[in-house]
Structure 1
Amino acid sequence: MHRVGDGGQLDRLLRVARTYWGDSPSGERCVVAEVFDQDLRAAVRTLMVARALCGAAAARLVVLGDPEARQLAEVFGAVDDHQPETPPVALVTGRVDGGTPRDIPVVHVHGTGTLQAYALFPDDGPRAFEDELPVRVAAFFEQYVWPNREVIRASAERVAWRAKSGYQVRTDTDRRQLRAYGCARLGLDPGLPTITVTAHVPGRDTELFGTTARFAAAEESANWLFVDPVAPEHRHMRSGVGGLSTNILWSLTDVAVSFGDSDLPAFGIPVIQAGFSEGARCGATHLAGTASDQVRLLEEAVATHAKGETILGPEQRERARLWLWMRRCGADVPTQLLPHSAHGPDYPRVLAVNLRYVERDGDPLFSAVHRMWERREPLLTRFDFRHPAGLSTTLTPARSIR
């Protein structure tokens, strides 16, 4: 992917962006944007949201980053003020950690599609960003998404159907056959439930991951699959199985332990949530907050699935599909200004074309940022969830009255 400082197409992009934005936003206050990511897509996403937030907050733009990032920031209207005299009205960043300030609004920008952003405000509470955000997102989900599940359901089913494109197993018979093949290939007992541990990032959630690995080593009444290498292995454990096809891995898995986002409950596979996820508290997974929680949930999972039953709750599949819809649709904001990340090497060229020919007036990016800022909502949204009638009209094809 293009780095921020790549020449050629970047030079053209800088010229077009300078013409597009024209003047710099002004105001007595400032929005601070952190642009330390060398991926051009991430840098531009952060700057776009920061620029839109400047309009919502009537503030100027200050960018922190290396010289190459500041060169890009300058054409987005950033002022050369690395130590502003007035406190920032908000921080816009592509990364958050335990040191992220909580005394000012923080907007975390990311996305694997078009544009996603999550926000916390000082009134939301004193806890760290990753501790507080899932609580706020869950409150939004319970207030605006779950009550509208009948309206959203058809769209959520369509999103789920598209999301499982890599999983081609259609019947229980197909799954049983693939499961038997997978167990034979890995040398595992097909009569035991299989627990798959996935999405762990080295250096994060070390206590819960260590607890899971130790429990797996001692618990021989289940098969254990670790997507990443774990040493030592035991006869009922296999690690480094990330190379298995989606069809085989999903067919083998009775329960997943996820240290990040997981869509598996949307497809009938229960998940024990052991790491950070923005939607961790939306009710789709079994949340483990402590090592003792983790052990209790693992014990319950092994015992329940050994009896041929499941720990997937009656609402969890639908909640998971609604959260999947939120991530891929409801909280993914389309904008004609930002190309989709899938453009790959063509991203700078497509972005330059967009900035040359697309006017910002009426673009969903700006209305979504204004809505999030004014209402102090925890996430950027494609739709106005406070108006269910409008949501219904947007999601449901209009019917003729004749």
Structure 2
Amino acid sequence: MWLRAEKKEFEGFLDSAAVYWRKNLGSVSSQRYLVVEVFHQDIRVAMRNLAVANAIRRIVPAQLVVVTGVEEMWHEALWTEFDVRLVERVAEAYGASQVIDLYRLVDGPARSATPGSVPVRLFGRTLPPGTPASEETLAEFVSATYCRVTKRPRPPQDPTADPRYGRREALARAISTYYDALLGTGDVVALVTSHVDYDHWGLAVDSARRAAVPVVHTQQTGCLKAYALFPETDTGRHTFRGELSHQLGAFFEERVWSRRAELRRNAELVAWRSKVNLGRPSWWRGGASASVDINSSAERARLRTHFAARLGFDPARPVVAVFNHAVSDAPGTNHQAFPTLADWFEETARFAGTATEVQWLFQDHPSQFRYDSTGFFDSVADRYRRSRHMVFQPSTELSKNGLWSLVDLGVTVRGSVSNELPAYGIPVLQAGWSEWSECGLSTVLNDPDDYWKGLDAAIGALRRGEELISPEQIERARLWLWFYRSATDLFTPQVPQWEVWPADYLLKSVQVAFRHIESDADPLFEAVERMWTHHEPVLTRTDLRVPGGVR
């Protein structure tokens, strides 16, 4: 996506960025350094990482080290437009002292099975060799990366049968060794990354955590959103996302739920706005299909009759909706009740096949084609073609109006529906953890036994006409919407809304900000300093610690 900008706009953006950061950071002589990755081909992702990194460098003087590069399998699967030279130019404009092409360095040692021979040179000196992650950790990242780049729901039963798996193993060992050297010197201020999964991102996070380096994880949504994991709050018992689930739950309880009376009006406004939200993660429901116009139970009943007829359902009987995930997307990234997302979906469909007392709606992931090359969803659907109480359907064929009017119970592992549906009074079961799973919005089930018992109990309650969601859960869900879409979405002219696109518009907007907006008027620096100084797990728009800190 970098090449889609006109050369004039791109050059103007680079010139403005270089002047802005030179004036706002000055020269840095410190031997300390901050590592930021740019492995994504979308310049909006790079901007988020680099803006946060430089905001931290205003607090802790440090040199900027950018790690980038693209490998053949990643290139074929996703990054068809990745250009290392363009990354280098953007990194230099943001003040990078060194840009490292990771895959150029690790490819040779990986092919020769000598990961320890990866040269790690920084600022003209050779760093001591690193130690790769544990075999268990390496295996987890290899499996997840293999699934992602091959778009398969599971790793091969016999890994030796697929040379691509062996390639990922060799690369992971070399990458982990390199990151251990780069991040284990004791001079690293932080790691800033857009992702925490797969080999070139996740192994950096693993090395940083073992070296007690703070990790800041930017998000690809809204304006500027970021999470942080600091060494003294890292228990080491869970994945990065697992640690975050606990910390966000505690933060939400202390800073948001405890102030629910004060925040109620804000939460109701955001709940209303989110009915027509066009941003991620609901970006795929654009236009009319994104709108929820249901304002009363009577309207819901009328729409329910209409959409039930379209699907061949009886509107008088309960409907359970099961939301398939992007089955190759970061398997094992957080706690899951089942070994894989595919196992959960298949076994839930098997359960539904005999649970004829309710009707089942199975929806695919809206970006299914980006994550599955095997026809997984269709293959499961084919097994139950004769089951009239089960419907398998592409999610984009049903509007939010249809979904909200039909569904009596949602079932997912970590999907965003588990915070959206409860906000509108629809209960959800989660077969795993998510960012919000400890905020009291849904029913979280941690293992298969709990899952089957919970699902069975929920179906029984639906048949008896019992309420499965409490007023408190609804209020918590609406507060989460406010927290996620407002309180933790920082507006800064350096990072326009994700929807500011195409690239020419984006670069022109940021160029104007660099040229005309003084840094003391930019909330980026105050917000990052607050997160950094108080070691908070999330970047916030305002100070939620003090009365009156909510806007």
The residue identity in structure 1 corresponding to 2:441 is A
Q: Percent sequence identity over matched residues?
A: 42
Which moves more between the two structures, 64-73 or 148-157? 64-73
Q: Is the 8 A contact 2:324 2:362 kept in 1?
A: no
Q: What residue is the counterpart of 1:236 in the other structure? A: 389
Corresponding residue SS for 2:191 = strand
How far the C-alpha of 1:128 sits from its partner, in A, is 1.1
Q: What residue is the counterpart of 1:226 in the other structure? A: 362
Q: What residue is the counterpart of 2:16 in the other structure? A: 16
Extract unaligned runs of 5+ from structure 2: 70-83, 101-119, 128-184, 277-290, 332-340, 365-376
Which moves more between the two structures, 134-143 or 293-302? 293-302
Instruction: State how many pairs are aligned.
Output: 391
Render the CA deviation track for 1:77-124: whole Å, top value 9, x for unaligned.
111164444342211100012643223211110142111001112222
Q: What residue is the counterpart of 1:38 in the other structure? A: 41
Q: What residue is the counterpart of 2:448 in the other structure? A: 291
Q: What residue is the counterpart of 1:335 in the other structure? A: 492
The residue identity in structure 1 corresponding to 2:61 is A
Render the CA deviation track for 1:118-165: whole Å, top value 9, x for unaligned.
111222210211111110000111111111111111111111111113
Q: What residue is the counterpart of 1:125 in the other structure? A: 235
Which moves more between the two structures, 365-374 or 271-280? 271-280
Q: Is the 8 A contact 2:496 2:506 kept in 1?
A: yes
Corresponding residue SS for 2:226 = strand
Structure-1 separation of matches of 2:15 and 2:97: 17
TM-score, length-scaled by structure 1: 0.92
Q: Quick one: structure 1 residues 199 and 121, their matched pair in 2 at CA, closer, same or farther if it must change by over 3 Å? A: farther
How far the C-alpha of 1:366 sits from its partner, in A, is 1.0
Correspondent of 1:140 among 242, 251, 268: 251
Structure-2 separation of matches of 1:152 and 1:4: 43
Extract unaligned runs of 5+ from structure 1: 396-402
How far the C-alpha of 1:382 sits from its partner, in A, is 0.8
Q: Quick one: structure 1 residues 169 and 295, their matched pair in 2 at CA, closer, same or farther if it must change by over 3 Å? A: same
Corresponding residue SS for 1:80 = strand
Q: Does 1:76 align with 2:89?
A: no
Corresponding residue SS for 1:382 = coil
The residue identity in structure 1 corresponding to 2:192 is V
Structure-2 separation of matches of 1:268 and 1:241: 24
Q: Does 1:366 align with 2:525?
A: yes
Render the CA deviation track for 1:16-36: whole Å, top value 9, x for unaligned.
111211245553211111111
Structure-2 separation of matches of 1:288 and 1:347: 42
How far the C-alpha of 1:266 sits from its partner, in A, is 0.8
Q: Is the 8 A contact 1:4 1:69 kept in 2?
A: no
Corresponding residue SS for 1:226 = strand
Q: Does 1:179 align with 2:332?
A: no
Corresponding residue SS for 1:17 = helix
Q: Is the 8 A contact 1:47 1:76 kept in 2?
A: yes
Q: Does 1:159 align with 2:295?
A: no
How far the C-alpha of 1:217 sits from its partner, in A, is 2.3
Correspondent of 1:91 among 191, 194, 197: 191
Q: Is the 8 A contact 1:160 1:324 kept in 2?
A: yes
Correspondent of 2:57 among 20, 42, 54: 54
The residue identity in structure 2 corresponding to 1:69 is V
Q: Quick one: structure 1 residues 113 and 199, their matched pair in 2 at CA, closer, same or farther if it must change by over 3 Å? A: farther
Corresponding residue SS for 1:225 = strand
Which moves more between the two structures, 108-117 or 230-239? 230-239
Q: Quick one: structure 1 residues 176 and 280, their matched pair in 2 at CA, closer, same or farther if it must change by over 3 Å? A: same
How far the C-alpha of 1:51 sits from its partner, in A, is 1.0
Q: Is the 8 A contact 2:91 2:99 kept in 1?
A: no
The residue identity in structure 1 corresponding to 2:92 is E
Structure-1 separation of matches of 2:52 and 2:259: 28
The residue identity in structure 2 corresponding to 1:216 is A
Corresponding residue SS for 1:151 = helix
Q: Quick one: structure 1 residues 289 and 208, their matched pair in 2 at CA, closer, same or farther if it must change by over 3 Å? A: farther
Q: What residue is the counterpart of 1:3 in the other structure? A: 2
Q: What residue is the counterpart of 1:322 in the other structure? A: 479
Corresponding residue SS for 2:519 = coil
Q: Does 1:353 align with 2:512?
A: yes
Q: Quick one: structure 1 residues 50 and 199, their matched pair in 2 at CA, closer, same or farther if it must change by over 3 Å? A: farther
Structure-1 separation of matches of 2:190 and 2:16: 27
Q: What residue is the counterpart of 2:218 in the other structure? A: 109
Q: Quick one: structure 1 residues 235 and 61, their matched pair in 2 at CA, closer, same or farther if it must change by over 3 Å? A: same
Q: Is the 8 A contact 1:5 1:69 kept in 2?
A: no
Q: Is the 8 A contact 2:324 2:345 kept in 1?
A: no
TM-score, length-scaled by structure 2: 0.68
Corresponding residue SS for 1:318 = helix
How far the C-alpha of 1:253 sits from its partner, in A, is 0.4
RMSD: 1.9
Q: Does 1:307 align with 2:464?
A: yes
Structure-1 separation of matches of 2:99 and 2:498: 30
Corresponding residue SS for 2:96 = coil
Which moves more between the two structures, 374-383 or 183-192? 183-192
Structure-2 separation of matches of 1:12 and 1:62: 23
Correspondent of 1:377 among 536, 541, 544: 536
Q: Quick one: structure 1 residues 7 and 299, their matched pair in 2 at CA, closer, same or farther if it must change by over 3 Å? A: same
The residue identity in structure 2 corresponding to 1:91 is L
How far the C-alpha of 1:209 sits from its partner, in A, is 2.8
Q: Is the 8 A contact 1:133 1:378 kept in 2?
A: yes
Q: What residue is the counterpart of 1:400 in the other structure? A: none
Q: What residue is the counterpart of 1:248 in the other structure? A: 402
Render the CA deviation track for 1:205-229: whole Å, top value 9, x for unaligned.
3333333222222311111112114
Correspondent of 1:261 among 400, 412, 416: 416
Corresponding residue SS for 2:507 = helix
Q: Quick one: structure 1 residues 297 and 4, their matched pair in 2 at CA, closer, same or farther if it must change by over 3 Å? A: farther
